[in-house]
Amino acid sequence: MKQHPEDFVKQITEQARPLEKAYYLAEWEAAVEGSNEAIGRVKDAQAAYMRFWSDPELFEAAKQLNKSGKVVAPLLARQLKLIYLAAGQNQQDEATIERLTELEGRVRQRYYNYRARVDDRELSDNEIDDVLKASRDSERVRQVWEASKQVGRQVAEEVREMARLRNAAARAGGFRDHFHRSLLLDEIDEQELFSLFADLEEQSQKPFAELKGEIDRALSARFDVPEEELRPWHYGDRFFQEGPQLGDVDLDSLVANQELEKLAAATYEGLGMEVGAILSRSDLYPRSGKNQHAFCIHVDREGDIRTLNNLQTTHRWAETLLHELGHSVYEQYLDPKLPWLLRAPAHTFTTEAVAILMGSLTFDPEWHTRVLGTEEEKAQSLTAAALRNDQAKKLIFTRWCLTMTHFERVFYSNPEADLDMVWWDLVERYQLLRRPTGRQAPDWAAKIHIALAPVYYHNYELGHLMASQLRKRLTEEAGGIVGRPAAGRWLIERVFSPGASLDWRTLVEKATGEALNPQYFVESFEF
Ligand SMILES: [Zn+2]
C-alpha cells in the first residue's frame, strides 16, 4: 500500500467511526432492554465492526507503516499504532466472526435474562446479594448461592467453544493463545504482569490470612457453625470478591434516606466536574430483563456518555455509581481537539484507576462530612470502620483477582482441562476458601467476564495500583480529593485530557512522576 500515512489514518477513522457507534448503541439497547431483537442487533453490529478490523490488508498496511519508523509526528504515530493493535486483535476469518458473535449473542442473552430460582421464586442479583449479606441461616445462603451458579451450567459449553475459536485465530497469527495475543496487543507484557502478580500474592499473603481469620471467626458466630464448616456461600457475595462487612457500623445506614444521584452530583461538583447531563442520559434503576451489572459507555466519542446501574440505596451502589461516573468524567474531559482515534482513555486500566479512585471516596471520612453532611463527631466513629472496610476490600479483591487472572491463563492454554477442578484449586489457593464437598459444576462460567470481557480482569488490579498512586499525588497537590476543585483540575489536565495520545507507561510517569508500581497500594494492606 503506497498510501500516505495521514490519508491512511483518515480513511480508517472515517470507516471505523460509524461502525463503532452502531456497535456501542446496540450494546446499550441490548443491556437496557434484554430483548432477543436487541441482542440480535448487537450480534450484527459487532460482526460488522469485527469484520472491518479483521481485514488482513488493513493490518498489513498498519504493520508496515508502524515498522517503517518514518512517521515521527507523535499524534500520527500513536494513531497508526492503535490501528495496528486493533487490527491485530481482530485478525480472524469470516467463519470465526460469524460463529463467535453468534455464541456471544446466545451467552449474552442467558446472562442478561438469568434470574436465580429458589423455592419457585425468581431472585435478581440484588436480592441474592441482600440474602448473602444479611442472612444468618446457613441453609438459606447455600440454596441462594447454588441457585446463582446455575447460569454457569447453561453457558459453560458455549464459553469453552468461544475459547477454542479465539485461540485458533490467535494461533494463526503466531501467538501462543488468545490470552497471549490479548495482552501483547493491549501493550501489557505478560511476564511483567505475572511477576507483579506474584509480588502482590506474596505481599498480601500474611495480611489476607489474618483478615480471613477474622472474617471466619465473625461468620462462625453469625451462622453458628464451626469455622471448618464455613463454605463459599457464607462469605457475603457470590464470588467472595468483596467480602462481608466488618465491624459494628452498618455502612448502608450511612446512605439511608439519601438520594444517590444527588450525592453523586455533589461529589463531582466538589471537584469542579459536571455530571448532570451524564446522569440524565443514564439508565439507573433495576428492571426485569435489564442487564444487572453496571457500566459506562461513550457511544460516539463526542460526548454521548451514559452509565447503566441498578441502584438501590446501599453503600455498595453509592460506590458503584461514583465508579461509573469516574469512567464518565474521564471520557467527558478528554481533549475534544484530539483526533477521533485518540479520543479515548490511555488504557483500560487507567480509566479503571479513576473509577476505582472515585468509588473509594465513599470510604473517605471527608466524603461523610462534606457530601453526606454527617456530623463531625459521628463521622469520627464511622471513619475508622469505613477505612477498615476499604482496606479489607482491597485485600479481598486482590486475592480474587489473582484467582480470575490465573484461571484465564489456564483456560486459554487448555480449554479442555478439568476447568471445574482448576477453578476450585485456584479459589482455595488465593482466596483461602474451602470448596463445597463433592461439587462438580462449571462455577467459573457463572462469572460473566470469562465469557464476555475476556482477558480483562487484570486491568482492575492495575487500576487499583494506579488509583493509589493518584491518591498520593492528589494529597500532595490538593490536600485530598473530596470538595477540592484543585484535585479535579489536576485530574483533568494530567490524566483525562491527554486521552490515548500517550501510551499508559508514559501517562503514568508523566502524571504521577513514577512508573506504575505496587508500593502505595500494598501499604494499604497493613491495618
Ligand atoms: Zn470500571
Q: Give CA–CA dist 466/463, Å, rounded.
A: 5
DSSP state of 283: B
Helix 138-172 × helix 125-134 angle, to 10°: 130
Task: Tell me how far the alpha carbon of residue 71 lies from the centroid of ligand 1, in angstroms.
Answer: 34
Task: Tell me how far the alpha carbon of residue 78 lies from the centroid of ligand 1, in angstroms.
Answer: 24
275 close to 267: Cβ distance less than 8 angstroms? no
Model's pTM, two decimal places?
Answer: 0.95
Task: Tell me how far the alpha carbon of residue 317 lies from the centroid of ligand 1, in angstroms.
Answer: 13
Task: Tell me how far the alpha carbon of residue 463 lies from the centroid of ligand 1, in angstroms.
Answer: 9
Task: Tell me how far the alpha carbon of residue 116 lies from the centroid of ligand 1, in angstroms.
Answer: 25
Task: Tell me how far the alpha carbon of residue 224 lies from the centroid of ligand 1, in angstroms.
Answer: 36
CA 292 to chain centre: 14
Task: Tell me how far the alpha carbon of residue 271 lies from the centroid of ligand 1, in angstroms.
Answer: 19
Please tell me the total number of residues recorded for the chain in this structure: 527
Task: Tell me how far the alpha carbon of residue 346 lies from the centroid of ligand 1, in angstroms.
Answer: 14
Task: Tell me how far the alpha carbon of residue 326 lies from the centroid of ligand 1, in angstroms.
Answer: 8
DSSP state of 173: T
24 close to 297: Cβ distance less than 8 angstroms? yes
| The three cell numbers locating residue 386 | 469505613
Q: Give CA–CA dist 443/422, Å, rounded.
A: 10
Using left for φ > 0, alpha for ψ between -120 and 50, and beta otherwise, residue 339 falls in: beta
Task: Tell me how far the alpha carbon of residue 324 lies from the centroid of ligand 1, in angstroms.
Answer: 6
Task: Tell me how far the alpha carbon of residue 417 lies from the centroid of ligand 1, in angstroms.
Answer: 30
State residue 384's pLDDT score: 80
As beta bridge partners, residue 305 has 298
Listed residue (258, 217, 514, 214) closest to 392, CA to CA = 214
State residue 382's pLDDT score: 77
Q: Give CA–CA dist 331/413, Å, rounded.
A: 35
Task: Tell me how far the alpha carbon of residue 329 lies from the centroid of ligand 1, in angstroms.
Answer: 12
Task: Tell me how far the alpha carbon of residue 98 lies from the centroid of ligand 1, in angstroms.
Answer: 29
Task: Tell me how far the alpha carbon of residue 459 lies from the centroid of ligand 1, in angstroms.
Answer: 9
Helices (H), 360-457: 365-366, 376-413, 419-431, 448-452
Task: Tell me how far the alpha carbon of residue 351 lies from the centroid of ligand 1, in angstroms.
Answer: 7
Task: Tell me how far the alpha carbon of residue 183 lies from the centroid of ligand 1, in angstroms.
Answer: 18
pLDDT, mean of each 10-residue run, the chain (527 residues): 86 98 96 88 94 97 91 94 97 96 92 87 90 95 96 96 97 97 97 97 96 96 97 96 84 89 98 98 92 94 97 95 98 98 98 98 91 85 82 95 98 98 98 95 96 96 98 97 98 98 98 97 85
Give the three-class secondary structure for 6: helix
The type of residue at 107 is: V
State residue 527's pLDDT score: 63
State residue 2's pLDDT score: 60
State residue 290's pLDDT score: 87
Task: Tell me how far the alpha carbon of residue 107 lies from the centroid of ligand 1, in angstroms.
Answer: 21
